[in-house]
Amino acid sequence: MEATRRGDRAVTNKPKYWGVISPMPAPMLTGMAQQYEAMGLEGLFAPQVYGPPFIPLAVAAGATSRVKLATGIALAFARSPFETAVAAMDMDRVSNGRFVLGLGSSVRSWSEGFFGMPYGKPVEHLREVIDIVRQVIAKGHTGELRRYDGKYHHHDFSEYQSLAAPLRTDLPIWVAGLRQPLLRMGAEVADGVIGHPIWSIGWATTKVMADIEAGLAKGGRKRSDIEFNIWLFVAPNNDRKQAIEDARATVAFYGGIEQYEEYFAAHGFRKEAKLLQEGVKGGSYVDVKHLVTDEMAQTFVVCGTPDEVRKRVAAIWEHADSACLMPPAYALAPEQQAAYGMAIAQTFYG
């Protein structure tokens, strides 16, 4: 496979795509994971919406042998950093060294409201979590761990007895971010940066690169020191109107989150975001999806014919090392999700 160079990083001529898996009956999940591996995908993400993402990844690990397996993402504040570290080591062992720990802060209302866990200042909190996870993985088996006293977490490891050394002490950690602060921190300290799926093409290709470069500079690092994985919602459909209609609920889900308002405002959609927030408080994002205009839907979900979608997505490869393309699955019936999954595979992986 030929490769070209952009800055200090090598770029292969064949894009590296990741897929997404989620909890489902084991026979279906194993079949999907094996199909993705056979298609040549680079890896598989399992997101944490509510439940822990390690469960579907463990099932996929037993059914595959090559693809990487990553949490995309694990909510960093929903559990103890110690539990995150040992779960990551277990997943790395189960997958024979194919695991990537993707971490993100999510939003305050989820962390404090759903999980009953402190949120604080997300950048400094996530930095602390990463530090603890790395210490447990690197030193837990050596007897060097004693105490950790941070702003958010306090651990007494004096009686900790690791059962075995981890498969890898340098297990990769990728950080997910929507806007500047987390992107900068991820580029500074993590092994990779994961883009948010609600990113627009324009945001992914113009707005974020200065933040990533700033984070790299602060950490004294090079662009080739991190993996930049861009996520996008895509809806390839020869019926453009149907693609737009199918995209509305996904955009409404994110638009209804108060913490995301400034992001939508930066695209000129503050009014719509506020209306969605008010609507969600009184019901469900599905009830207010009609408030998502055609323009808003097409800004945050790549809608159009397969050729149109392919051409628009091609713009990310000037900056991305890999990408994860997913259908706008919120409120879609299983057969609609499956149809978009097949369309994405035929458009990009064939």
243 within domain boundaries: no
Strand 68-71 relative to strand 99-104: parallel, antiparallel, unpaired? parallel
The average pLDDT across 286-295 equals: 97
Q: Which of 22, 14, 13 is nearest to 53 (CA)?
A: 22
Report how many domains make up the chain.
Answer: 1
271 within domain boundaries: no
Instruction: Report pLDDT for 162.
Output: 87
48 within domain boundaries: yes
Cα angle, residue 348 at apex, residues 36 and 330 outer, rounded to 5°: 75
- The residues, ordered by sequence, that sit 6+ positions from 342 with a Cβ below 8 Å of its Cβ are none
14 within domain boundaries: yes
287 within domain boundaries: no
Q: Which of 39, 48, 38 is nearest to 70 (CA)?
A: 48
Domain that holds residue 86: 3-236+312-349
DSSP type of residue 285: G
Task: Name the token pair of 208.
Answer: 């974020």
Report residue 262's pLDDT band, with 50, 70 and 90 as the boundaries. very high
Q: Which long-range contacts (CB under 8 A, 24 or more apart) does 275-279 make?
A: 276/252, 279/252
DSSP state string for 73-86: -EETTSS-HHHHHH
343 within domain boundaries: yes
- The residues, ordered by sequence, that sit 6+ positions from 51 with a Cβ below 8 Å of its Cβ are 23
Match 């105490």 to its residue by tokens: 147
Residues comprising the chain, all counted: 350
Instruction: Report pLDDT for 2.
Output: 42
181 within domain boundaries: yes
**pLDDT higher than 80, residue 151:** yes
269 within domain boundaries: no
Task: Name the token pair of 61.
Answer: 């690990």
Strand 147-149 relative to strand 192-195: parallel, antiparallel, unpaired? unpaired
* pLDDT tens string 161-198: 987 899 999 999 999 999 889 999 999 999 999 999 99
Instruction: Report pLDDT for 179.
Output: 87
Q: Give the rounded percent of residues in the chain with a pLDDT score beyond 90.
A: 91
DSSP state string for 187-199: HHHSSEEEE-TT-
Q: Could you tell me the CATH number of the domain that includes residue 79? A: 3.20.20.30
Residues 184 and 218 sit within 8 Å (Cβ to Cβ) = yes
* pLDDT tens string 103-125: 999 989 999 999 999 999 999 99
* pLDDT tens string 43-82: 999 999 899 999 999 999 999 999 999 999 999 999 999 9
SS3 154: strand
